Structure 1
Amino acid sequence: MPPVVLPAEVAVVNVGLPMFADAVREQGTPVEQVDWRIPAAGDPAAVRALTRLYAADGVDGANAEVVRRLDTGQPQLVGVATAEDVVPGFGGRALLHSGPSLPFGEHCDPLRRSMQAAVVAEGWAADVAQARELLERGAVALDAANHHDTVVPMATALGPSQPVLVVENRDGGTRAFSGINQGPGEVPWFGRDTDAAIARLRLLVDVVGPAVGAILEDTGPLDVLAVAAQGISMGDDLHMRTQAATNLLTRTWLPQIAALPDGRRRPFADYLAGNHLFFLNVAMAAAKSLQLWAEQVPGSSIVTTMSRNGTTFGIKLAGDPGWHLTEAPPVGEALYYSGYGPEDSARDIGDSAVLELTGMGGPAAGGSAAVAAFLGGTMADAARATEGFRAICAGTSSRFTLPAMEFAGTPLGVDVRRVVELGITPKVTTGILHAGAGTGQVGAGVAEAPLACFTEALLALADRVG
């Protein structure tokens, strides 16, 4: 019998545990990992919906158009205005809040406190106790900011006298808004309703809004995502960490800051120097302007709204105005300030997940050492978070690239079909607020979006397509 001659080179197909494929890959050998899992965990209704949607005419074409709009639109920060003057359908004795809409009593404690601070700052109540009484009896109208082309982070409650950033996406003819970031510390968006928190809202009206408005009058429009792209290449994810983008913007505006009137220059400089998250709201408004353009495309399976209020978590698909809701998840993979832990944590909150739908936040985790600390501690852990998004996204960003991952573009356009088929939901990098003591931020971490609302959205889309 002739001797058996082993091949000099092999290529491997692995069916089963991924660790075997990882071991082969680490030895420099080509390997293809076969996903052996049953689609949608074998749920018959979801499998039928997936079969219909993958075979349906038009869905893939609609998705390609949504991704094109998300990738090519160029949002410009054009100015600052008083909210009631520019936000559609907003004014009078009303507040806009993060997440899907709810009555006051069903909101989480941090958001109720933020609303109370906003009511006092608006001059509708003399103190927090009187503000709570007005809110409890419905004397102040409440609505989701998303219903008014607006996005606000964490537990923000936006009053009509507050200044808002105005961002225009001229390619799509859309305009979106966000309040100006309140900064760290004793602030309402962290669930505080103290005198200092109310004073911060007044500072935005008296100093910060006018200062930013004057700067933009001198400089002209700002290409928001050009700054964001630089920030991501410097280690920002543009959600949990926006330090690089904020610093770039501060440098860009430095001559105009120096030229501000004496009464505003120092207070604005103090505010900006202590606020590494200033660019967060700018990026959110830019992302919302792109989502407003993308959601005009009918018949798409791409998620164009993803938002939470600390009580409920909701998504919308392009071309569909209806919410798909479930309970807001806890924030896991968390690091807490000393003396705090999971038992103190409020549930996931804020409109800032709009960033994850636009190639920022979680999709950019693979380039951020700061975010890696919350995902296991290594850049490989951060890269896996980005690849998790890649598995559920329909496209890739051409403007946001990750040097740590061979300059790969960030994943773009969360496809509800892939989410349900694979059982992989978006992971949102976020801060953590205290659940009930009104002490503000107690940590940061990663919230994993709940699957139920994606499944509901998938079934509804299959019915419409069918």
Structure 2
Amino acid sequence: MTLSMLNGEPRVITVGAELLGEALDHQAVPRRAVDWRPPLPGASTALAAVLADPRRARANEVAVGRLTSARPRLVGVRPASEALGLEKGTFFHAGPPIDWERASGPMRGALIGAMLFEGLATTPEEAEARLASGDGITLDPCHHHRTVGPMAGVVSPSMWMLEVADAEHGGTAYCSLNEGLGKVLRYGAYGPEVVDRLRWMGEVLGPVLAAALERTGPVDLRNLIAQALQMGDELHNRNRAATSLLLREIAPAVVEAAPDRAAEVLRFVNGNDHFFLNAGMAAAKVSADAARNVPGSSLVVAMARNGTEFGIQVSGLGDRWFTGPAGVPDGLYLGGYGPDDANPDIGDSTITETTGLGGFAMAASPAIVRFVGGDVSDAVAATTSMYEITLAEHPAYQIPGLGFRGTPVGIDVTLVARTGLLPVVNTGIAGRVAGTGQVGAGLVSPPAEAFTAALEALAAG
């Protein structure tokens, strides 16, 4: 055997350092390249235990099947006090649990603005003092209440919520109405223009949309998202097509339901390319929730950030959070802002990536690179790499540029650990100082320790 190896043509497999492979290419030596990466540090023992779990394969099949078969429909718009039983003094927020002491600038700014909006304080200083003391104030994650919120994600009782129901599995999820871009509450701004806009949304926008939906009946969001992907959206940072499709769906009913206010409502929606984002987030939330609580499943059912920590939840581990420090996105900045002005990653909008959209669907949205940075090849590479850490391809959400291949969906903790690949997230960037608003947009990766901690919990049973 040794002699035959020495006398025959070498068969070369290259792993890792591409420099060695390139040297062989220059010498015209045939080789087979293997794209291998080491597992996440410290994950080997837990990974072996989880892979040996006889429940895992079937549990993941069930969980991802529920996620991809969900049929989210927009069924109503209601005040949070009614839809969620939210009482004055209680605020929901994005990401894992956090208190005022650890809250970032944009989270604090959004809470101050919500206090002013609810009439619980008359000045920012009074609001901040009361929040710091905790007097009559309760903070709780949106995810604990079938809800998601973009950026700071603050929800207060008087805000109106989009209500999305899953026609397949029966779940319901909520998200607030989108305020637009610039100085808005979700980015931590709380000036008079922010509070005045929220009041108009509560007095006009919410009631008119509610009346319109009573006329149209449920709006099929799964179908709308599938169309928008084929029109150049990725449904996280680009929602222009989806917003246009939704506007076309409801515009006649808006005019019929409120002829005196229709023009201002339609003008507001038309001027806000991200209006659909919140409906898409609620659709993603109700889809991911359908996959929860499958014993033995290593499927990620939530990724969320509160501006301080990035957390994940896993189907087989109930409502437990596994966290690590939130990173600062790398991207493009507005005006004179730069990296020093950026807050660490924040928001529940990573529920889109959790369900195969956003960063996982960038190959469907070449124009997104003008917003988050990079070039078209980077967008395609981001999507194709995510097939390595997901359990399925979405049957409805398809990418024309990849031959109508379904988006990668169903992040598996074990695949993340085995490959060392972390989910790709594209996101807006909030200013780190309360009251600043949006300063840019870019790409960010979750902390690896969130996934290794979840893997260890799965291994422990």
**TM interval, short-chain normalised:** over 0.9
Taking the TM superposition and a 5 Å limit, the aligned residue runs for 1:37-436 are: 37-41=37-41, 43=42, 46-87=43-84, 90-138=86-134, 139-320=136-317, 321-332=319-330, 334-373=331-370, 377-436=374-433
Which deviations, in whole Å up to 9, do the C-alpha atoms of 1:6-28 show, x marking residues without a partner? 99xx9985433457879999xxx
Amino acid in structure 2 at the alignment position of 1:125: A
Checking the alignment, whether the CA contact within 8 Å between 1:207 and 1:267 is kept in structure 2 is no
Checking the alignment, whether the CA contact within 8 Å between 2:233 and 2:241 is kept in structure 1 is yes
CA distance in 1, matches of 2:301, 2:16: 34
- TM superposition score normalised by structure 1: 0.91
Give SS of 2:332's match: strand
CA distance in 2, matches of 1:16, 1:137: 54
Give SS of 2:120's match: coil
- Aligned-pair distance for 1:56? 1.6
Checking the alignment, whether the CA contact within 8 Å between 1:90 and 1:148 is kept in structure 2 is no
CA distance in 2, matches of 1:23, 1:286: 50
CA distance in 2, matches of 1:196, 1:439: 13
**Is the alpha carbon distance of 1:20 and 1:217 closer, same or farther for their aligned partners in structure 2, counting shifts above 3 Å?**
farther
* Greater Cα shift, 215-224 or 90-99: 90-99
Match of 1:3 in 2: none
Match of 2:34 in 1: 34
Which deviations, in whole Å up to 9, do the C-alpha atoms of 1:24-74 show, x marking residues without a partner? 99xxxx985313433334x3xx21111122222010111111111111110
CA distance in 1, matches of 2:72, 2:279: 10
Which deviations, in whole Å up to 9, do the C-alpha atoms of 1:400-459 show, x marking residues without a partner? 111112211110000011111211111211001111162211110011111011000001
Larger RCO (CA within 8 A; separation ≥ 6) = 2
- Aligned-pair distance for 1:264? 2.0
Give SS of 2:139's match: strand
Checking the alignment, whether the CA contact within 8 Å between 1:361 and 1:428 is kept in structure 2 is yes
Amino acid in structure 2 at the alignment position of 1:112: R
Amino acid in structure 2 at the alignment position of 1:16: G
Checking the alignment, whether the CA contact within 8 Å between 2:94 and 2:151 is kept in structure 1 is yes
Amino acid in structure 1 at the alignment position of 2:115: V
Q: Percent identity?
A: 39
Amino acid in structure 2 at the alignment position of 1:91: E
CA distance in 1, matches of 2:38, 2:289: 35
CA distance in 2, matches of 1:110, 1:377: 26
Give SS of 2:148's match: coil
Match of 1:446 in 2: 443
Checking the alignment, whether the CA contact within 8 Å between 1:375 and 1:381 is kept in structure 2 is no
For these two proteins, the number of residue pairs brought into alignment is 449
Amino acid in structure 2 at the alignment position of 1:195: P
CA distance in 1, matches of 2:372, 2:265: 35
Give SS of 1:158's match: coil
CA distance in 1, matches of 2:388, 2:22: 17
Q: Which runs of 5+ in 2 are unaligned?
A: 1-7
Checking the alignment, whether the CA contact within 8 Å between 1:183 and 1:277 is kept in structure 2 is yes
CA distance in 2, matches of 1:276, 1:23: 49
Which deviations, in whole Å up to 9, do the C-alpha atoms of 1:322-357 show, x marking residues without a partner? 11111111111x011121111110110000101101
Which deviations, in whole Å up to 9, do the C-alpha atoms of 1:211-268 show, x marking residues without a partner? 1111110000011121111111111110011111001111122212322424421221
- TM superposition score normalised by structure 2: 0.92
CA distance in 2, matches of 1:390, 1:292: 21
CA distance in 2, matches of 1:458, 1:295: 16
* Greater Cα shift, 256-265 or 156-165: 256-265
Which deviations, in whole Å up to 9, do the C-alpha atoms of 1:148-174 show, x marking residues without a partner? 110000123110111111111132221
CA distance in 2, matches of 1:289, 1:222: 15
Give SS of 1:143's match: strand
Match of 2:456 in 1: 459
Q: Which runs of 5+ in 1 are unaligned?
A: 1-5
- Aligned-pair distance for 1:133? 1.9
CA distance in 1, matches of 2:20, 2:208: 58
**Is the alpha carbon distance of 1:32 and 1:246 closer, same or farther for their aligned partners in structure 2, counting shifts above 3 Å?**
farther
Give SS of 2:261's match: helix
